[in-house]
Amino acid sequence: MPLRDTSADHAATDRTFQVDLRGLVDLLSHHLYSSPRVYLRELLQNAVDALTARHAVEPHGNFGIRLYADGKVVRVEDDGVGLTEADVHTFLATIGRSSKRADRIAEQRADFIGQFGIGLLSCFLVADEIHVLSRSARTPDAPAVEWRGRGDGSYTVRTLPASARPRPGTTVTLTPRSDAGEWTRPQQVHALARHFGSLLRHPVTFDDGSGGPGTPVNPEPAPWARSFPTPGARSRALAAYGEEVFGFTPLDTIELDLPAVGLKGIACVLPEAVPAGRRHGHRVHVKGMLLSEQAEEILPEWAFFVRCVVDAESLRPTASRESLYEDATLAAVRDALAERLREWIARAAASDPDLLGRFLQTHHLAVKSLAVHDDEILRMLLPWLPFETTDGHTTLDEFARTHRTVLVTSSVEEFRQVAAIASAAGLGVVNGGYTYDRELVHRMPEIRPEVSVADLDPATLTAHLDPVDREMELAAAPYLAQARDALAVFDCDVALRTFQPASAPALLVDSREARHERTRSRLAREQEGGLWGDILGALRQEAPRAQLILNQLNPLVRTAVAIDEPELARTSAEALYGQAVMLSRRPLRPAESSLINRSFLDLLAHALRKDS
């Protein structure tokens, strides 16, 4: 985005941007930056870059950054390398330009955080005028340069005597607009400086104009960059920093160190479970400057049990410098950080069972998602992971000690249908309806070869139900016929068996797949003769029926099968079916809800008539 110089001399002559500056500011505020507050980050970045360049000239110098805000102006002063008049034109001329020249400038600035020109223009988000006074450190007697830009797109550049700025460096002064007070009040400027610059490697101070000494913005380096007398002291300091940053006491902290990209930081293990797949934002600093608080891309999706704060040298920010550019370096960093988390889990499993237990109790779902795709974690932690079983919530290792054959359901509702009866029959059943559980249970033989795993088949369960004697079955036949007729609308058969526990009056053996097949068959019957009916008819197979198994050991069932009044028999069968459906905890179909209500009211009416 070149500039048009309207004067041939170096006097304070007005010049104008060759762009619509108001349009550019609107673009910055609505499409590039998330908030006007970034103006201070951009000024700090420019100052840090200037100090980086100054240290290349004077490696042992003691340089810093000073902020000033009194409600009337905001000023950022640095002891950096400073600018010449040619520098001012060069940096501002690269704004928005895509050219080989701009690329060469970017390569030369690889050690810097930002780009001076566009960072400076971000100040127009909060001010109508920007004043820059700078003096180069590269030339001992260099004159000072003044640049004054205005919101209408005009600017002036002029040289001043060196006495106008006795020391090399740059001072940027903003006169805030009246509607920008939210971002330019002294307290807010100080807070923003702490927010963005707490990990900067150069000293930064803040002055609110009250006359007191400047307040350090970054008084201490990051805790991972400090030395501590003992490992315990270091661990406590890292945990305290994590609590300060994220607002929770970490279950544990994992120190992160990737020298290849100059990355250091910590991962804080969340003390409470989070829903699977809910990815937290991580705090990423680049060369000490906060880049983003919501950098999800720094870790893989399965690592939702931690929140990270890291500082890196070689990660590439996007144009807005508010997120990370997805490239090969970021992919390698993500893989390396994932390996550090795996190593932490392995260390906990090997040397700290108490920590491992607390971690798995809280984050078992995250570990299950990892174990599905990571054989090492699977072998290491599968025996420790909790599952819902017919023996209660327990680990697979404990469950396999008493059940050499492990049966697993395909859904939560199937498990709830059979859990009580299967437990009484001595069957070992695991609820495979939760995310990852069925797949993981089937991999159990890889860890425990002596254990066999199979899907629970309805025939397996019904084989463990004892038949009633012939005489009792014949006596119950009329009732069973009435019950089958009443429940035919639900494609449900009825049988009489004996099983434990005796308190269970009925067991509904059904599955989601069977219900889907019955629905498809019903649609085919309804659509016979049409194209859709032909398609469904081609797919038709013998639809599996649900089965309501009545328990002869239950007193209520023994009373029901002796009913000789047809309407009451039908009503009692409907009530038993409704109760069995509710015990399965699956969603009720409208017809089932209606049946439950009707059967209850009919039984109540019958009882009232009998009492009267």
Residue % of the chain over a pLDDT of 70: 82
Structure tokens at 158: 């002029």
Where are the extended beta strands (E) located within 359-451?
386-389, 392-395, 405-408, 429-430
**Structure confidence at residue 118 as a pLDDT band (50, 70, 90):** low
Q: Is the pLDDT of residue 6 over 50?
A: no
Name the phi and psi angles at 209, rounded to 5. Answer: 80, 5
Helices 38-57 and 186-197: angle between axes, nearest 10 degrees: 60
- pLDDT greater at residue 536 or residue 372: 372
**Which range is most confident: 98-112, 514-528, 598-612?**
598-612
Q: Is the pLDDT of residue 289 over 70?
A: yes
Q: Are 497 and 505 in contact (CB under 8 A)?
A: no
Cα 486 vs. chain centroid, distance in angstroms? 50
Burial category of 500 from C-beta neighbours within 10 Å (exposed 0-12, middle 13-18, buried 19 and up): middle
* Residue type at 215 in one-letter notation: T
pLDDT at 212: 75
Q: Are 172 and 132 in contact (CB under 8 A)?
A: yes
**Structure confidence at residue 530 as a pLDDT band (50, 70, 90):** low
pLDDT at 15: 63
DSSP state of 545: P
pLDDT at 531: 52
Q: What H or E segment, with its residue span, contains residue 514?
A: helix 512-526
pTM of the model: 0.68
Question: Looking at 181-195, 216-230, 361-375, which range is the least confident one?
Answer: 361-375
- Strand-by-strand arrangement of the 506-509 sheet: 466-467, 492-498, 546-551, 506-509
Q: How, if at all, do strands 74-78 and 169-176 pair?
A: antiparallel
* Distances from the Cα of 60 to the Cα of 52, 54, 55, 201, 221, angstroms: 12, 10, 7, 14, 19
How large is the average pLDDT for residues 286-305? 88
Q: What CA–CA distance (Å, rounded) separates 470 from 462?
A: 18
- Write the pLDDT tens digit of every residue in 445-497: 998 899 999 998 777 777 778 888 888 989 999 999 999 999 988 888 899 99
Q: What's the alpha-carbon Rg for the chain, to the nearest Å?
A: 37
pLDDT at 225: 93
**Average pLDDT for the chain:** 83
Burial category of 192 from C-beta neighbours within 10 Å (exposed 0-12, middle 13-18, buried 19 and up): buried
Cα 466 vs. chain centroid, distance in angstroms? 50
Which residues have C-beta within 8 Å of that of residue 353, sequence separation ≥ 6? none
**Structure confidence at residue 187 as a pLDDT band (50, 70, 90):** very high
pLDDT at 27: 57
How large is the average pLDDT for residues 60-85? 92
pLDDT at 418: 83
DSSP state of 317: B
- pLDDT greater at residue 523 or residue 594: 594
**Residue whose C-alpha is closest to residue 94's, from 104, 85, 84:** 104
Q: Are 588 and 581 in contact (CB under 8 A)?
A: yes
Structure tokens at 445: 């033989």
Q: Is the pLDDT of residue 346 over 50?
A: yes
- pLDDT greater at residue 280 or residue 60: 60
Structure tokens at 429: 């059943």
Beta bridge partners of 289: 286
Q: Is the pLDDT of residue 308 over 70?
A: yes
- Write the pLDDT tens digit of every residue in 546-576: 889 899 999 999 999 999 899 999 999 999 9
Where are the extended beta strands (E) located within 319-419?
386-389, 392-395, 405-408
Q: What CA–CA distance (Å, rounded) separates 429 from 556?
A: 28
Question: Looking at 13-17, 311-315, 317-321, 472-476, which range is the least confident one?
Answer: 13-17
Residue % of the chain over a pLDDT of 90: 40
Helices 328-351 and 353-373: angle between axes, nearest 10 degrees: 140
What DSSP letter does each residue of 254-314 carry, written as one string? EEEEEGGGTEEEEEEEPSS---TT-PPP-EEEETTEEEES--GGGS-TT-TTEEEEEEESS
**Structure confidence at residue 97 as a pLDDT band (50, 70, 90):** very low
**Structure confidence at residue 18 as a pLDDT band (50, 70, 90):** low
How large is the average pLDDT for residues 85-99? 60
Q: How, if at all, do strands 13-17 and 3-4 pair?
A: antiparallel
Which residues have C-beta within 8 Å of that of residue 249, sequence separation ≥ 6? 239, 243, 271
How large is the average pLDDT for residues 206-210? 90
Q: How, if at all, do strands 306-312 and 263-269 pair?
A: antiparallel
CA 559, 562, 567, 573 torsion-angle sign: positive
**Structure confidence at residue 93 as a pLDDT band (50, 70, 90):** very low
Helices 531-539 and 512-526: angle between axes, nearest 10 degrees: 140
- Write the pLDDT tens digit of every residue in 364-417: 888 888 888 888 888 888 888 889 999 999 988 899 889 999 999 988 888 887
**Structure confidence at residue 3 as a pLDDT band (50, 70, 90):** very low
pLDDT at 25: 59
- Write the pLDDT tens digit of every residue in 227-237: 999 999 999 99
pLDDT at 517: 61
pLDDT at 102: 36
Q: In which residue are the tokens 């996007």 written?
A: 318
Structure tokens at 202: 């150069």
What DSSP letter does each residue of 204-252 carry, written as one string? EEEE-SSSSPPEESS-S--GGGS--SSHHHHHHHHHHHHHHHHSS--S-
